Amino acid sequence: MKTIRVVAAVISRTENGKMEILATQRGYGDYKDSWEFPGGKIEPGETAEDALVREIQEELQVRIAIDSFLQTVEYEYPKFHLCMDCFMCHIDEGELVLTEHEAAKWLDLEHLADLDWLPSDLEVIDNLKENYSLQK
Q: What is the pLDDT of residues 94-126, one digit of tens each?
A: 999 999 999 999 999 999 999 999 999 999 999
How far is Cα 136 from Cα 11, in angstroms, rounded to an integer? 15
Task: Say what the pLDDT of residue 16 is.
Answer: 87
Task: Say what the pLDDT of residue 136 is.
Answer: 41
Chain centroid offset of residue 13 CA: 14
Q: CB-based contacts of 31: which residues, under 8 Å, 6+ apart? A: 118
DSSP state of 79: S
Task: Say what the pLDDT of residue 29 is.
Answer: 87
For 38-86, how does the pLDDT look when each residue is reduced to its tens digit (9 = 90+)? 999 999 999 999 999 999 999 999 999 999 999 999 999 999 999 999 9
How far is Cα 105 from Cα 108, in angstroms, rounded to an integer? 10
Question: Number of folded domains in the chain?
Answer: 1
Domain that holds residue 120: 3-132
pLDDT confidence of 15, banded at 50, 70, 90?
Answer: confident
Cβ neighbours of 103 (radius 10 Å): 13
DSSP state of 117: B
CATH code at 12?
3.90.79.10
Higher pLDDT: 8 or 15? It is 8
Task: Say what the pLDDT of residue 134 is.
Answer: 54
